[in-house]
Amino acid sequence: MKSLLICVVLLKLVWFGHGQSGGDHHPLAPAFFVFGDSLVDSGNNNYIPTLARANYFPYGIDFGFPTGRFCNGRTVVDYGATYLGLPLVPPYLSPLSIGQNSLRGVNYASAAAGILDETGQHYGARTTFNGQISQFEATIELHLQRFFQNPADLRKYLAKSIIGINIGSNDYINNYLMPERYSTSQTYSGEDYADLLIKTLSAQISRLYNLGARKMVLAGSGPLGCIPSQLSMVSGNKNSGCVTKINDMVSMFNIRLKDLANTLNTTLPGSFFVYQNVYDLFHDMVGNPSRYGLVVSNEACCGNGRYGGALTCLPLQQPCLDRHQYVFWDAFHPTETANKIIAHNTFSKSANYSYPISVYELAKL
Q: Are 101 and 172 in contact (CB under 8 A)?
A: no
Query: Buried (b) or exposed (e) across 100-127, using 16+ Cβ within 10 A?
Result: ebbebbbbbbbbbbbbbeebbbebebbb
Q: Are 140 and 340 in contact (CB under 8 A)?
A: no
**At 117, is the secondary structure helix, strand, or coil?**
coil
- Note if 38 is an active site residue: yes
**CA 14 to centroid of chain Cα atoms:** 21
- Note if 330 is an active site residue: yes
Taking the C-alpha atoms of residue 203 and residue 277, their distance in angstroms, rounded to an integer, is: 22
Task: Residue 115: name the closest of 45, 169, 168 by CA.
Answer: 168
Q: Give 86's contacts (C-beta < 8 A, 6+ positions apart).
A: 19, 22, 23, 27, 29, 31, 32, 104, 105
Catalytic residue among 18, 283, 333, 344: 333
Catalytic residue among 102, 271, 330, 344: 330
Catalytic residue among 18, 37, 38, 102: 38
DSSP code at position 313: P
- Note if 26 is an active site residue: no
Taking the C-alpha atoms of residue 74 and residue 306, their distance in angstroms, rounded to an integer, is: 26
DSSP states along 148-209:
SSSHHHHHHHHHHSEEEEE--SHHIIIIIT-TTT--HHHH--HHHHHHHHHHHHHHHHHHHH
Taking the C-alpha atoms of residue 322 and residue 37, their distance in angstroms, rounded to an integer, is: 26
Which amino acid is located at 268 in the chain?
L
Catalytic site residues? 38, 330, 333
